[in-house]
Amino acid sequence: MDMAWHAQRDWPILEWGLAGRLRRDCMEEWTRFIHHPFVKGLANGTLPQEVFQRFLIQDYLYLIQYTRACALSVHKSTTVADMREAAALVSGILDTELPLHVGYCKGWGIDEDMLRKAPESLQLLAYSRFILDRAQTGDLLDLLTTLAPCMIGYGEIGARLHAAPATRREGNPYWSWIALYGGDEFTTLVEDGIRRLDRIGQQYGADARYPMLKEEFSTATRLEAAFWDAGSEFPLS
Ligand SMILES: Cc1ncc(C[n+]2csc(CCO)c2C)c(N)n1
């Protein structure tokens, strides 16, 4: 494990509130997610290009399903302020993140047609259907808890790899990915998400519902760990 970056020291917000408690209580699954061999391959630049390309295609399809779940968080909100926050995230993804992802894929030789036509992997099907189930069946707190590993995990991976002296910067084809998720803009988004989860947790009585929330966070984390292999069953064509 890289000793240069410590969640506790360098990102105290992660240790705090509901998000911190869930992350600590699911540390085994969490470690498998954020220290997956795929992540090591990004850090040292040794991940094969085709593996990354196939992952990017599945990740685009994931973003679409994630956005649908986020849209349900507008519906599940019980105050106008919460609705506005949820709606802002949906527009942010549709107007900024998705076009950025399409542009990034182009740089890797994947055009929009390939993105649209790609079959969904089993990992994507399992993860997105789980999220959508929690979004439809649960309330806003269930939904935000289920979405939390996605947001916090990529933030933590980005921050860690961005700061680690062992990460290859020069000539690493994945440095732009690391710089995106380890950059200030994304970090601020994640910190806002952590605060929001805590606030909604207090509003919706997280303490009394903790076992169920932990189950949701744990399952989403296991599905994140599995998602690194989402592209592995498909050839690029
Ligand atoms: C499998 C997978 N998990 C998490 C992310 C990161 N991510 C996707 S949407 C979102 C929140 C809105 O910006 C974040 C952080 C990803 N790309 N792919």
User: Any idea where the domains of the chain sit in the sequence?
Assistant: 49-227
Contacts of residue 84, Cβ cutoff 8 Å, sequence gap at least 6: none
What is the whole-number distance in angstroms between the Cα of residue 237 and the centre of ligand 1?
A: 25
150 is catalytic: yes
- CA 156: distance to chain centroid? 10
The Cα–Cα gap between 22 and 37 comes to 23
**Ligand 1: nearest atom to the Cα of 127:** 1
26 is catalytic: no
Q: How far is CA 7 from CA 23, 27, 30, 200, in A?
A: 11, 12, 12, 23
The Cα–Cα gap between 34 and 145 comes to 18
What is the whole-number distance in angstroms between the Cα of residue 151 and the centre of ligand 1?
A: 6
The Cα–Cα gap between 125 and 65 comes to 9
Contacts of residue 181, Cβ cutoff 8 Å, sequence gap at least 6: 154, 155, 157, 158, 159, 161, 162
Q: Is the ipTM of this complex over 0.90?
A: yes
Question: What is the CATH code of the structural domain delimited by 49-227?
Answer: 1.20.910.10
pLDDT tens per residue, range 166-216 = 999 999 999 999 999 999 999 999 999 999 999 999 999 999 999 999 999
Q: pLDDT band for 1, please (50, 70, 90 cuts).
A: low
Angle, to 10 degrees, between the axis of helix 98-107 and the axis of helix 49-76?
Answer: 170
Q: Is 63 in the pocket of ligand 1 (CB under 6 A)?
A: yes
- CA 32: distance to chain centroid? 14
Q: Is 55 in the pocket of ligand 1 (CB under 6 A)?
A: no
Cα radius of gyration (the chain) = 17
Of the candidates 26, 150, 156, 216, the residue annotated as catalytic is: 150
Residue 152 is encoded by which pair of tokens?
């916090």
What is the whole-number distance in angstroms between the Cα of residue 129 and the centre of ligand 1?
A: 15
pLDDT tens per residue, range 127-166 = 999 999 999 999 999 999 999 999 999 999 999 999 999 9
The residue whose CB lies within 8 Å of the most ligand 1 atoms, and thus the one to mutate among 56, 66, 156, is 66
